[in-house]
Amino acid sequence: MDVAWVILIVIVGGAAGGFVNVFIGDSGLHLPKVENGVFLPGFIGTVIVGALAALGSWGAAKSIPIFGNTGSALSFSTGDIANALIVGFGGAKWFKSENEKDVLQMTAAIAAGKQADPKAAIAIASSSPNQALATALQMREHAS
């Protein structure tokens, strides 16, 4: 099998794993946008990260010479496809977690500087990271 086709299959598998990750949690299927001053990569970002993570993983596990002495045969199995799906999913999950961590840090920084508000505390504790940030920003607006 040609290396280019194998790479394409791995990228598509990783992208599929990243796409599945879009539906885990509350982020949903949306395009990249900026909300409350935070960049949200949307499904496009998770798909790209999933594809790149799968390609990196496959490249590390199945390294072959691309230029020069290319005498080694390329092997590709269903396990490689499964690995691309799993690594794509995991890479996208890590990417989403990093983004949510940044949002929650911003939320904590805003809320820590405000008067105690039990209703806002309950809303922040029981909502998604982006909804929690919106609540903290409302606290800042009401305090002004």
**CB-based contacts of 127: which residues, under 8 Å, 6+ apart?**
135
Rounded distance between C-alpha atoms, residue 29 and residue 43, angstroms: 6
- Report residue 37's pLDDT band, with 50, 70 and 90 as the boundaries: confident
Q: Say if residue 76's pLDDT is above 90.
A: no
Segment holding 33, helix H or strand E? strand 33-35
- Taking the alpha carbons of 60, 66, 67, 69 in that order, is the dihedral positive or negative? positive
- Identify which of 30, 7, 10, 5 has the alpha carbon closest to the alpha carbon of residue 86: 10
Rounded distance between C-alpha atoms, residue 108 and residue 77, angstroms: 46
- Identify which of 140, 75, 80 has the alpha carbon closest to the alpha carbon of residue 107: 140
Q: Cα-flanking dihedrals φ and ψ of residue 8, to 5°? A: -65, -45
Q: Say if residue 28's pLDDT is above 80.
A: no
Rounded distance between C-alpha atoms, residue 3 and residue 93, angstroms: 28
Q: Say if residue 65's pLDDT is above 70.
A: no
Q: What is the pTM of this model?
A: 0.78
Q: Give the largest Cα separation in the chain, rounded.
A: 70
Rounded distance between C-alpha atoms, residue 135 and residue 104, angstroms: 11
- Report residue 4's pLDDT band, with 50, 70 and 90 as the boundaries: confident
